[in-house]
Amino acid sequence: MAKPAPLSGFPELLPAQRVVEQQVIATLASTFELHGFANIETRAVEPMDQLLRKGDTSKEVYVLRRLQETKDAARDKGLDNGLGLHFDLTVPFARYVLENAGKLEFPFRRYQIQKVWRGERPQEGRFREFAQADIDIVGRDLLPFHHDIEVARVMLDALGRLDFLPGFRLQVNNRKLIQGFYRGLGLDDDAVDEVMRLVDKLDKLSPEQVATSLVAEAGLSDAQAQQCLALATIRATDDSFVARVQALGVEHPLLDEGLDELALLLRGTTGLATEKVRIEADLSIARGLDYYTGTVFETRLDGYESLGSICSGGRYDALASDGRTTYPGVGISLGVSRVLVPLIQRGVVTGDRSVPSAVLVAVADEESRPQADAIAAALRARGIPCEVAPSAAKFGKQIKHADRRGIPYVWFSGTDDAGAATHEVKDIRSGNQVPADPGTWEPPLEDLRPRVSTSSTTEASSTTEASSTTEASSTTEASSTTEASSTTEASSTTTKETDQ
Amino acid sequence: MAKPAPLSGFPELLPAQRVVEQQVIATLASTFELHGFANIETRAVEPMDQLLRKGDTSKEVYVLRRLQETKDAARDKGLDNGLGLHFDLTVPFARYVLENAGKLEFPFRRYQIQKVWRGERPQEGRFREFAQADIDIVGRDLLPFHHDIEVARVMLDALGRLDFLPGFRLQVNNRKLIQGFYRGLGLDDDAVDEVMRLVDKLDKLSPEQVATSLVAEAGLSDAQAQQCLALATIRATDDSFVARVQALGVEHPLLDEGLDELALLLRGTTGLATEKVRIEADLSIARGLDYYTGTVFETRLDGYESLGSICSGGRYDALASDGRTTYPGVGISLGVSRVLVPLIQRGVVTGDRSVPSAVLVAVADEESRPQADAIAAALRARGIPCEVAPSAAKFGKQIKHADRRGIPYVWFSGTDDAGAATHEVKDIRSGNQVPADPGTWEPPLEDLRPRVSTSSTTEASSTTEASSTTEASSTTEASSTTEASSTTEASSTTTKETDQ
């Protein structure tokens, strides 16, 4: 077998990089649990008719076929009954709720952190396989609006615990507000959808271009088109947007409802704004997917605007219904891979070692391996991750074994003149070596587990050449250093491009 | 959308059941990390030519196609370049090692806990989507034998921490031993493989039937067939098997090597045997897959023998090679779903609540919701998972909300005559209600997180009728109770069948 090449769009991480993803997922999970969200996992596959039921094939679904299944059987069965990989976690969750409604307690609050698959053309932050972290709250028949505020708060709490994240902006809007506004302008249902779709392009097209297509494609008058654009330009970090919308002179009961809800949402979340976190009403946000019926969320990461929204969601009042009962929900989904993979590939974050071990237990000769195993067992019994040297090489080589992996301590044992066992532990960073007892010694808490280490993109790009040399020669975790510094070099250009 | 039906072979868990799986995975991960194994994840897909390179299509691979991909393009591309879902974690791991060899440190020790997919016919313990937990150690060119002992020890350590598991038997053998023995009998390479395949059927066929096919299909003499059967019947919990094999009078250098290795393995693991854990040399074990070259492992769970081996693996000296360098490895893989799903479905284990919340903060009226949110925030700041009541219903109804989910505490706030805030917390199991301070109160440690609760199958089947009624009426976590008791009823029969 020749050396295999990576598959574009299917990112994989090296062990020290995976440390970052593991710790991020653990932080998200523990935050969601602090807020009382239960964890579930759904199967990777859904029936094709479920995946396509909105007629939306833009998600580029992966269709499955069993190898042994005859081609005729696969064709006869058709797409409707076939299986595909899920492209998000919301559609499977809605199906899970309907399937298990009799066994769940409502409102049902769950989080779900899983891979999803989309056959899209790969680009930075857009993958064919990626991890998402979703929280949703679903009610039976009714779901009070305070849950819209709650999911925003919970996700802000979670994101706020990821120290290495740059600043970000949570943008909120409300479908009732924009749909009510368009209806107040006299538009019918079809025109409302078309206008929403066109206004959503304001992040790519100029206002003039959008105005032109509103008239040409959606059949609006110039005056109507200008009103739509005026609405879409409104941004505010408090409920002052209400007066500005009202000043446009459009009236509709649905508009009022949307204004009330969005004002409530802003008042319920502004207390969470910090130097790093801005929360704003942005009346241009609509979200492409058509199941949202009220609140919508998007999130932009400072300096990584080209990634698009890293965390999106909203209220969906009719996604899950079995005909008799409807289960309205609200949720928000973080693109874990979308955020992490670019940061990791640019070398902004990495783990400070490639193994969990805090200690390498040295082996003087193969005969004494059982004693080394016993020392390791004593350390593990007190929760200290460690490994035993794989061979009784010279101690210098064993220390190098630890150094290459970023293991901070090496344990040496021997016997004194009286034949009693002696133990010493060496901090290989300082060279400091002290006597130690395998039954009581503990490393400082910060050395117990691998840590996520951060270097800002600015530092990374200004010190590229120097740091890659220095770090490579200091040999701490050679493999990831090489990886990190080579991607840093490659990506410093990318960073500049994105920043502009 | 009508109520969806479950998909056979794709098990999903209810929230209280997922608590068990979460805690098992956390226990496995932390044990593997204590032993210095680094975590990685590989993508779900591999090129079809990799998945089929052993010519082994028995794994029923799922082939992928993008929905938008034209059928002609898919056919032209053919299976060789297409993608399929991985059917285990060993083949992807071997590919990951080759792809990243320059960035990894050897010996490389990793664990991997992920879903895998096989299009097999579903039956108990056999699923189309299931989770596996693998540990492997891979060297460059060489890998000392003590790592064979190590992976067995690490997995035994992990399994030993799963309190709810019944007793089990780790069965070990060595391919060199059996292949050397067959060659010592004068068989050629083809005959050796054929005999291994036929002897592997001893768990389904009688010795007489196997002897007949050894003669008829593999062309052995009666005497050779009897020798093969004599070898396969040898079992021992210590290295006494060596003398018994030697007594059969067959000689071959590879046989000696295999005997030495297996004796080392038994001597290195027998100290780990307990009342629940038996370790034995079982010379009938061969493992179907053909990449094993030395040590092989299988594991049988007491009372669940019909599940087959729940934890298997072995030494593979040639799985990963780029032509110039070979990466020999040894590993062992636990079928997480294979063990857990039957135990969960039979009601042997479940979580004691369906949400992470230890506390429900009651809401007296919607106006005071912000105060309830503040109390919840104070509790969360000290790591206490909690949720705020979704509506200001009567307190009795709010207590019931907690009770249905298994939340042990409800927090009540009010104001005293002087207008100062008052706080009380009620343990709804005992009814005990005491004053509490949101800044300092803590629940007992055992109430902080959901716990895994166990009922032995014996208890379950002897008390089926009575317990399902009693439990259902006591209302603690009604949904899971109903689920648990209904599966208990259904499965008590299954249990008896399996036990016989």
Supply the DSSP string of B269-296, one letter for each residue: HGGG--SSEEEEEETT---SSTT--SEE
Q: From B189, B202, B180, B187, select the one nearest B298 (Cα to Cα).
A: B202
Angle between helices B15-34 and B146-160 in degrees, nearest 10:
150
CB contact (8 A) between residue A41 and residue B18: yes
- 3-state SS of chain A? CCCCCCCCCCCCCCHHHHHHHHHHHHHHHHHHHHCCCEECCCCCEEEHHHHCCCCCCCCCCEEEEECCCCHHHHHHHHHHHCEEECCCCHHHHHHHHHHHHHHCCCCEEEEEEEEEECCCCCECCECCEEEEEEEEEECCCCCCCHHHHHHHHHHHHHHHCCCCCCCEEEEEEEHHHHHHHHHHCCCCHHHHHHHHHHHHHHHCCCHHHHHHHHHHCCCCCHHHHHHHHHHHCCEECCCCHHHHHHCCCCCCHHHHHHHHHHHHHHHHHHHHCCCCEEEEEECCCCCCCCCCCCEEEEEEECCCHHHCCCEEEEEEEEEEECCCCEEEEEEEEEEHHHHHHHHHHCCCEEECCCCCCCEEECCCCHHHHHHHHHHHHHHHHCCCCEEECCCCCCHHHHHHHHHHHCCCEEEEEEECCCCCEEEEEEECCCCEEEECCCCCCCCCHHHHCCCEEECCHHHHHHCHHHHHHHHHHHCCCHHHHHHHHHHHHHHHHHHHHHHC
B416 Cα to chain A: minimum distance (Å): 27
Three-state DSSP state, B125: coil
Please state the residue numbers annotated as binding site of B. 88-90, 118, 132, 136, 287, 291-292
What was the pLDDT predicted at B71?
56
- B residues 294-313 near A, CB within 8 Å? none
pLDDT digits (tens, 9 = 90+) for A456-491: 544 433 333 333 333 333 333 333 333 333 333 333
Contact (Cβ atoms closer than 8 angstroms) between residue B182 and residue B195: yes
A319 labelled binding-site residue: no
- CB-nearest to A1 from B35, B321, B387 is B321
How confident is residue A125, by pLDDT bands cut at 50, 70 and 90?
A: confident
Same fold: A15-345 with A359-448: no
Could you tell me which residue, A200 or A239, shows the higher pLDDT? Answer: A239
User: Does residue B141 sit in helix, strand or coil?
Assistant: coil
Q: Which residue in A289, A243, A288, A290 sits closest to A262, CA to CA? A: A243
More confident residue, A456 or B185: B185
Chain B residues touching A105 at Cβ < 8 A: 354, 401, 404-405, 478-479
- Put simply, the chain B residues between 328 and 357 with a CB less than 8 A from any chain A CB are 354-357
Window A:100-159, CB contacts with B under 8 Å = 100-105, 107, 109-110, 115, 117, 119, 129, 139, 144, 146-147
Distance from the Cα of A31 to chain B's closest Cα (Å) equals 9
Residue B217, pLDDT > 60, answer yes
List B residues 153-192 in contact with A (Cβ-Cβ < 8 A): none
Position A457 scores a pLDDT of 46
Decide if B42 touches A, using CB distance below 8 A: yes
Residues B385, B358: contact at Cβ < 8 Å? yes
Nearest to B64 among A21, A41, A64 (CB): A64
Nearest CA-CA partner of A20 in A403, A401, A348? A348
Distance separating alpha carbons of residues A411 and A395, to the nearest angstrom: 10
A contacts of B7 (beta carbons < 8 Å) = 43, 45, 47, 83
* Yes or no, beta carbons of A1 and B102 under 8 Å apart: no
Q: Is residue B327 classed as helix, strand or coil in its secondary structure? A: strand
Task: Considering only residues A209 and B460, tell me which one the structure prediction assigns the higher pLDDT.
Answer: A209
Q: Sorting pLDDT into bands at 50, 70 and 90, what band is A455?
A: confident
Q: Judge: B98–A323 Cβ closer than 8 Å, yes or no.
A: no
Q: Is A316 annotated as a binding residue?
A: no
Question: What integer is the mean pLDDT of A235-248?
Answer: 96
Higher-confidence residue: A253 or A270? A253
Closest-CA distance, A184 to chain B, in angstroms, reads 32
Tokens representing residue A76 in the block: 């006869």
Across the range A327-350, mean pLDDT stands at 95
Q: Do B61 and A67 touch (CB under 8 A)?
A: yes
A 408-447 residues with CB < 8 A to B: none
Tell me the torsion sign for CA atoms A343, A344, A345, A350.
positive
C-beta of residue B29 within 8 angstroms of C-beta of residue B135: no
Q: Between B11, B98, B110, which is nearest A4 by CB?
A: B98
Residue A318 Cα, gap to closest chain B Cα (Å): 11
CATH topology of domain A15-345: BirA Bifunctional Protein; domain 2 (3.30.930)
pLDDT at B353 over 70: yes
Contact call for B15 and A2, based on CB within 8 A:
no
Least Cα separation, residue B406 to chain A (angstroms): 11
Q: A-chain residues within 8 Å CB-CB of B62?
A: 64-67
Range scoring the smallest mean pLDDT among A32-36, A277-281, A477-481, B201-205: A477-481
Q: What average pLDDT does this structure show over B197-222?
A: 92
Could you tell me if A345 and A491 are in contact, meaning their C-beta atoms sit under 8 angstroms apart?
Answer: yes
The token duo for A473 is: 């020669």
Buried b (16+ CB within 10 A) or exposed e, B374-396: ebbbbbbeeebbbbbbbebeeee
Q: Report residue A81's pLDDT band, with 50, 70 and 90 as the boundaries.
A: low
- Selecting from A10, A85, A103 the residue whose C-beta is nearest the C-beta of B14 gives A103
Predicted local distance difference test score (pLDDT) of residue A471: 33
- Torsion angles phi and psi, residue A138, rounded to 5: -125, 130
CA distance B254 to chain A (A): 24
Backbone dihedral region for residue B35 (phi beyond 0: left; psi -120 to 50: alpha; all else: beta)? alpha
Statement: residue A325 has pLDDT above 60: yes
Residue pair B401/B351 in contact by the 8 Å Cβ criterion: no
- Give long-range contacts, CB 8 A cutoff, 24+ apart: A391-400: A391/A363, A391/B144, A392/A363, A392/A364, A392/A365, A392/A366, A392/A368, A395/A362, A398/A360, A398/A362, A398/A363, A399/A426, A399/A428, A400/A475
A282 is in an annotated binding site: no
pLDDT of residue B126: 87
* A60: chain B residues, CB-CB within 8 Å: 66-68
Q: Is residue A136 annotated as involved in ligand binding?
A: yes
What DSSP designation does B2 have?
P
| Cβ–Cβ below 8 Å for B357 and A36 | yes
Q: Which of A33-37, A321-325, B55-59 has the lowest mean pLDDT?
A: B55-59
In this predicted structure, the answer to whether residue B124 has a pLDDT above a threshold of 70 is: yes
User: What residue has token string 């019909």?
Assistant: B306
Q: How far is CA B240 from the centre of its chain?
A: 31
What's the rounded Cα separation, in Å, for the pair A316 and A312?
13
More confident residue, A195 or B76: A195
Average pLDDT, chain A: 88
For A36, which of B356, B369, B478 is closest by C-beta distance? Answer: B356
CA–chain centroid gap for B487, Å, is 21
Which residues, at least 6 apart from B369, have a Cβ–Cβ distance to it below 8 Å? A146, B363, B388, B392
* Cα of B249 to nearest chain A Cα, Å: 32
**pLDDT, tens digit, for every residue of B321-331?**
888 999 999 99
pLDDT at A476: 35
State the nearest Cα–Cα gap between B118 and chain A, in angstroms: 9
Question: Would you state the structure tokens that stand for residue B472, as one six-digit string?
Answer: 């259902």
A380 reaches B (C-beta below 8 A): yes
Nearest Cβ partner for B380 among A34, A102, A146: A34
φ/ψ bin of A249: left (φ > 0), alpha (ψ from -120 to 50), beta (otherwise) = left
Nearest CA to CA, how far is B491 from chain A (Å)? 19
- Across the interface, whether the CB atoms of B104 and A404 are under 8 A apart is answered no
- B293/A contact by beta carbon, under 8 A: no
Structure confidence at residue B52 (pLDDT): 83
CB pair distance less than 8 Å for A41 and B12: yes
Scanning A202-221 for CB atoms below 8 A from B yields none
* Per-residue model confidence as pLDDT tens digits over B437-452: 999 999 999 999 999 9
Q: What's the fold here for domain A359-448?
A: Rossmann fold (3.40.50)
Taking a C-beta distance cutoff of 8 angstroms, is the pair A39, A373 a contact? no
* pLDDT interval class at A226 (50, 70, 90): very high
User: What residues in B contact A115, CB-CB < 8 Å?
Assistant: 44
B30 burial (CB, 10 Å; 0-12 / 13-18 / 19+) is middle
Closest CA to A110 of B419, B292, B19: B19
Q: Is A67 near chain B, with CB under 8 Å?
A: yes
Eight-state DSSP code of residue B472:
H
Pairs across A and B, CB distance < 8 A: 241
Q: Which of A8, A35, A153 to mutate to test the interface with B (most CBs of B within 10 A)?
A: A35
Res. B81 pLDDT band, cuts 50 70 90: low
Quick one: pLDDT at residue B465? 33
Domain ranges of chain B: 359-448, 456-499
Contact B38, B110 (CB under 8 A): yes
AA letter at A22: Q
Q: Do B14 and A100 touch (CB under 8 A)?
A: yes
Token pair for B421: 């805030």
Partners of B386 on chain A (C-beta within 8 Å) are: 34-36
A287 is in an annotated binding site: yes
Q: Is B366 helix (H, G, I), strand (E, B) or coil?
A: helix
Residue with tokens 């298997």: B312
